Amino acid sequence: MTFVFKKIKTLTFFFFLFLNFNLSSNAHVKGTFSTEKEAEKKSLELGCEGIHKNQDKWLPCENEKELHRYLRK
């Protein structure tokens, strides 16, 4: 009985881990742009302020935490 319970707990954990990763990566892809101008336009559409750079891509909002908050609305 405990073996089955542990297996269910493990599967549940991985299911929610996958779900969380999928939502986060989806939001990130929708908010990544190759130019500052595109990121500024999206920032205005989302209602957040500013833009920021992550590696070679431009993103709307002042930081990624704020961006993800606006993209999930």
**Tokens at 42, concatenated:** 């999206």
pLDDT, average across residues 8-23: 56
Q: φ, ψ for residue 67 (rounded to 5)?
A: -60, -50
Largest CA distance in the chain: 59
Tell me the three state secondary structure of residue 32: coil
Give the per-residue pLDDT at 72.
83
pTM: 0.57
HSE (CB half, 13 Å, CA atoms) of 50?
Answer: 9
pLDDT band at 18 (very low <50, low <70, confident <90, very high): low
Integer Cα distance of 16 and 20 in angstroms = 6
- The predicted-structure confidence for 21-47, as pLDDT tens digits, reads as follows 444 444 455 668 999 999 999 999 999
Contact between residue 33 and residue 53 where contact means Cβ atoms under 8 Å apart: no
